[in-house]
């Protein structure tokens, strides 16, 4: 079975089960995933998500916001540096 055939068989329910198996490290029947099974499941989930979901809904998505290049998260806050004093 090639990747296209595998992706054609997957649906959101199956992908959800694969994600859960990867997260908890075992199949729904309680049998532990091998390292190879875990990697294969992750690859299948990522491939399916790339093909079927918008970027913001995919596993591992990080919202980078709308900052301009060189703008920093704390660029608008001007606090005086105060060292911590240990007594």
The token pair that represents 68 in the structure block: 């301009």
Question: Mind listing the pLDDT tens digit for each residue in 12-42?
Answer: 999 999 999 999 999 999 999 999 999 999 9
Which pLDDT band holds residue 11 (cuts at 50, 70, 90)? very high
End-to-end CA, the chain? 67
Mean per-residue pLDDT over the chain, rounded: 85
Do the beta carbons of residue 44 and residue 18 sit within 8 Å?
yes
Three-class secondary structure of residue 32 per DSSP: strand
Which pLDDT band holds residue 70 (cuts at 50, 70, 90)? low
């Amino acid at each position: 079975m090639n990747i296209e055939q595998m992706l054609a068989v997957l649906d959101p329910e199956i992908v959800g089960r694969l994600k859960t198996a990867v997260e908890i490290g075992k199949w729904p029947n309680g049998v532990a995933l091998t390292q190879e099974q875990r990697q294969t499941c992750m690859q299948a989930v990522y491939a399916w998500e790339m093909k079927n979901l918008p970027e913001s809904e995919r596993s591992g998505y990080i919202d980078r916001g709308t900052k301009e290049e060189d703008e920093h998260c704390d660029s608008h806050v001007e606090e005086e540096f105060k060292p911590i004093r240990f007594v």
